[in-house]
Amino acid sequence: MGSERVVVIGGGPAGLAAAAAVADVGSAVTLVEWAPFLGGTPIAENYAALTPNMESAEVAMGRMIDRVTSNELVDVRLGSQVAACEPDGHGFRLELSGDGAGPLHADAVVVATGFQHFDPGRETQMYGYYEFPDVVALQDLEAMLKDHHVVRPSNGQPPERICFVQCVGSRDRQIGNEYCSKVCCGIASKEAIEVRQQLPDCKVFIFYIDMRMYGYWENQIYWPAQEQYHVQYVKGIITEVLQKGDKLLVRGEDTTMGRPMEVTMDLVVLSVGMEPSLGTRLMAKTFGVAQNKYGFIDAAHAPLDTVSTSRPGIFACGAALGPADLEDSVSSAAAAAVRAVAHARSHQPVGA
């Protein structure tokens, strides 16, 4: 073991995986998280079950957190953020602010600051997220599923008909998010299964442009949702949501039938995509690493090096690099960790 130290920024799935990996190979690691708790978005946004294996988010994240906090090589700084970064020999001198304020030397840095959910208020289509209480987003339904209390926010009654609207805030030039957010088809289908489990009488519809189920998600989520849970997939996206009595009227085109559609729903769930989190944007500036046009940190040597940024010694992983599911996030975290350790050790005196 050397005296090198890697600093990981962000305590979500990617940051926890990176910190654990750094410690696993015997380097000291400081994990900086600006929230007062670890677990990242799955905990902060009250996710119910993780995709695709449907394990409780709290249980699964709790296991990751324990693995990190129980390792003596890991120093966790909650409620803290990196305020400044200066070169320091071959490494960096970081200035932390917040609860763990103070200077910190880093031989290498892993940025794992993740994403935030697209704000449906920015949608150019009129989905009425802030107008209608019964229009919610994926994470709002997650919270209801976690409480086993899926209701129409307008009246507290269980919905009889729910629809998901895919690609909200993704694949849209006007919004500026031309990319596919990768996970929303799977998340919507997973939530649809959970709704059918919790409310067996509730009809669930998913309106989509095209279902993007990567790899095993096809048979792990999509096919069971359709074949075992009788979720109805309708090809054609919703363009607007209107009030009709105490219901919501969703309007769009049924593209396989080539006809307009106007269907009433009790609850409309917007499958919001991913945008770079505020933390990702701030850290990109603080560390002076290049961002792509969408604000995600640029993987400078992609596709075969997915974790190096434009600045040597600064690595990134997870959804800070762009839309990523959990499996991709923890995989890139391990890759970033090993690259960061290698970078840190390459400048350490042998046997120090």
Partner 1 sequence: MPIGGRKQPPTAVELEHATVTSPLSGREWELPGMWNRMFEQRVEWDFTTEGFEKIGSLEGGESLEWCYGCGKCVPVCPVDLVGEYGPRKIHRKVQTGLDLFTSDDLWLCTTCMNCLRVCPKEVDMVKVMPAVREVAVAEGQVPGELADVFEKTFRYGNALGENPRRRHAWTRDAGVDVRVLASDPRPVDVLFYVEDYWSYHPRGMQAARSFARVATALGVDFAILGPEEKTIGDSQRLAGEKGLFEALMEDVVATLDRYEFQRIVTPDPHGFNALVKEYPKRGHRYDVLHYTQLLAPLVDRIEWRKELDCTVTFHDPCYLGRHNGEYDAPRTLLRAIPGVRLVEMGRCRENGYCCGGGGGGMWLDGLTANHTSERLSERRVREAVESGADVLAVCCPYEVSRFEDGAKSTGNDQLQVRDIIELVDEAMGGGGG
Chain residues in the site for partner 1 (CB under 8 A): 203, 205, 211, 222-223, 226-227, 230, 232-235, 254, 256-263
Nearer to partner 1, 65 or 231 (CB): 231
> Which single residue is written with the structure tokens 């935030």?
116
CB of 23 to partner 1, least distance (A): 44
| 67 burial type by CB count under 10 A (0-12 exposed, 13-18 middle, 19+ buried) | middle
Closest CA to 213 of 235, 177, 183: 183
Nearer to partner 1, 23 or 163 (CB): 163
Report the DSSP beta bridge partners of residue 56: 49
DSSP-derived letter for residue 319 is G
CB of 15 to partner 1, least distance (A): 36
CB of 254 to partner 1, least distance (A): 5
> Which single residue is written with the structure tokens 């007062």?
36
Cis peptide bond upstream of 200, omega within 30: no
Kindly list the strands in the beta sheet with 135-137, ordered across the sheet, starting from the edge strand earlier in the chain.
Answer: 135-137, 267-272, 161-168, 203-208, 232-235
Q: Show the DSSP H helices in 45-137 as ranges.
A: 57-69
15 Cβ contact list (under 8 Å, min separation 6): 8, 9, 31, 33, 40, 110, 112, 113, 114, 318, 333
CB of 210 to partner 1, least distance (A): 10
CB of 138 to partner 1, least distance (A): 21
Cis peptide bond upstream of 303, omega within 30: yes
For residues 278 and 258, the answer to whether their CB atoms sit within 8 Å is no
Nearer to partner 1, 143 or 211 (CB): 211
Nearer to partner 1, 173 or 259 (CB): 259
> Which single residue is written with the structure tokens 């209801």?
144
CB of 211 to partner 1, least distance (A): 7
CB of 142 to partner 1, least distance (A): 24
Nearer to partner 1, 31 or 192 (CB): 192
Nearer to partner 1, 226 or 331 (CB): 226
Nearer to partner 1, 234 or 317 (CB): 234
CB of 55 to partner 1, least distance (A): 26
Closest CA to 98 of 282, 311, 275, 274: 282
CA atoms of 1 and 105, how far apart (whole Å): 17
Nearer to partner 1, 67 or 203 (CB): 203
CA atoms of 17 and 168, how far apart (whole Å): 29
